[in-house]
């Protein structure tokens, strides 16, 4: 059992949880994730390690409530426990001194790009951050990103904060401005990562994305997280989750992630009904 020692609401649907897991806190590197099972009836879900404190033995995760399990996880409070918290999993991000690196986070993807941006900054890179979301109250980790980035740009789809438009528009502007960009890390919704890959492709700028296929065991056994990269089959949990963006078959990933949409909807509706019933009892 793993104790939640801190909870912070970052937006209506995004929650930060700090969880006691000393061994993971000691070993984890930028790019690693954990597989969580909230209780004995729960499914396993992968969540990126956003940060850790090896001294306190804690791991920070940032979760967007999109369906049954993430809603259940976000409903837990300080002092509650999760049953399983397995990690660190996945290949850590290779951290080099590239020169100038643009780190892009879309929505909750900012929680995933933040540890990478931090490690790249510590390795001596000039880090330019772009943080985007649909609207102002979904922008997360702005202060944290500002503290580690040499420059930070904010975009919102509706123009409620920062530049109106997409993170990829800001990326295109940076390229057009003529600055030399040595690498790009783009993490967020699949369409966002696909567009960022298309923006950098003509300029041959090395671009990395972190893929989010459905994962079950996280150890290369079940095949659930199969993706195609450079025409070859890869398992995102052990070969990734980061891959060369110019090689990824994004359309296949989108299609495979839709496999269980009907069941996910039913599961979410049942969970919402259950919560409503409990609230009625209070």
Ligand X SMILES: Cc1cc2nc3c(=O)[nH]c(=O)nc-3n(C[C@H](O)[C@H](O)[C@H](O)COP(=O)(O)OP(=O)(O)OC[C@H]3O[C@@H](n4cnc5c(N)ncnc54)[C@H](O)[C@@H]3O)c2cc1C
Q: Which residues bind ligand FES (CB under 6 A)?
A: 215-218, 220-225, 235, 237
Contact partner at residue 222 from ligand X, ligand FES, none, CB < 5 to 8 Å by partner kind = ligand FES
User: Do you know the residue count of the chain?
Assistant: 282
Q: Whole-number minimum distance, CB 188 to ligand FES, in Å? A: 21
In the complex, what is the shortest distance from the CB of residue 118 to ligand FES, in angstroms, rounded to a whole number? Answer: 26
CA distance 113 to 105: 6
Binding partner of 47, given ligand X, ligand FES, none, CB within 5-8 angstroms per partner class: ligand X
C-beta closer to ligand FES: residue 43 or 173: 43
C-alpha span between 167 and 154 (Å, rounded): 8
**Cβ neighbours of residue 130 closer than 8 Å, sequence gap 6 or more:** 102, 103, 104, 105, 152, 153, 154, 155, 167, 170, 171
15 touches, from ligand FES, ligand X, none (C-beta below 5 to 8 Å by class): none
The CB-of-224 to ligand FES minimum distance in angstroms stands at 5
- Under 8 Å between Cβ of 71 and 97: no
**With respect to ligand X, which residue has the nearer C-beta, 17 or 175?**
17
State both tokens at 209.
């994305």
Tell me how far apart the alpha carbons of residues 129 and 144 are, in angstroms, rounded to a whole number: 11
Write down the residue that tokens 């030399």 correspond to: 180
**Least distance (Å) from ligand X to the CB of residue 177?**
31
Residue nearer to ligand FES on the CB measure, 125 or 212: 212
Pick the closer one to ligand X by CB: 151 or 264: 264
Closest approach of ligand FES to the CB of residue 234, in Å:
10
Query: 7 pairs with which residues across the strands?
Result: 17
Picked from ligand FES, ligand X, none, the partner binding residue 223 (CB below 5 to 8 A depending on kind) is ligand FES
Give the full edge-to-edge strand order of the sheet including 14-20: 51-53, 58-64, 14-20, 2-9, 81-82
The item of ligand FES, ligand X, none sharing an interface with residue 68, based on CB under 5 to 8 Å by kind, is ligand X
Q: Which two tokens stand for residue 174?
A: 């940076």
Which residue, 153 or 235, is less far from ligand FES as judged by CB? 235
* H or E element that contains 5: strand 2-9
């Amino acid at each position: 059992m793993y104790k939640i020692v801190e909870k912070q609401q970052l937006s209506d649907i995004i929650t930060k949880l700090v969880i006691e897991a000393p061994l993971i806190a000691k070993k984890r590197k930028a790019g690693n994730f954990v597989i969580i099972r909230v209780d004995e009836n729960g499914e396993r879900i992968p969540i990126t390690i956003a940060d850790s404190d090896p001294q306190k033995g804690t791991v920070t995760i940032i979760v967007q409530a999109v369906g049954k399990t993430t809603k259940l996880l976000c409903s837990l409070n300080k002092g509650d426990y999760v049953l399983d918290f397995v990690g660190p999993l996945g290949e850590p991000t290779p951290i080099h001194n590239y020169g100038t690196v643009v780190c892009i986070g879309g929505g909750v993807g900012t929680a995933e790009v933040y540890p990478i941006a931090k490690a790249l900054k510590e390795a001596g890179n000039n880090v330019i951050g772009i943080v985007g979301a649909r609207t102002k109250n979904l922008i997360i980790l702005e202060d944290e990103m500002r503290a580690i980035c040499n420059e930070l740009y904010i975009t919102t789809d509706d123009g409620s904060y920062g530049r109106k438009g997409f993170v990829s528009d800001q990326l295109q502007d940076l390229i057009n401005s003529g600055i030399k960009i040595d690498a790009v890390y783009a993490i967020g919704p699949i369409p966002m990562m696909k567009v960022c890959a298309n923006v950098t492709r003509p300029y041959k700028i090395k671009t990395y994305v972190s893929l989010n296929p459905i994962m079950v065991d996280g150890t290369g056994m079940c095949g659930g997280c199969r993706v195609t990269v450079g025409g070859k089959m890869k398992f995102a949990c052990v070969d990734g989750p980061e891959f060369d963006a110019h090689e990824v078959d994004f359309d296949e990933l989108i299609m495979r992630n839709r496999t269980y949409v009907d069941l996910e909807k039913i599961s979410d509706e049942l969970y919402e009904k259950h919560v409503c019933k409990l609230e009625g009892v209070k």
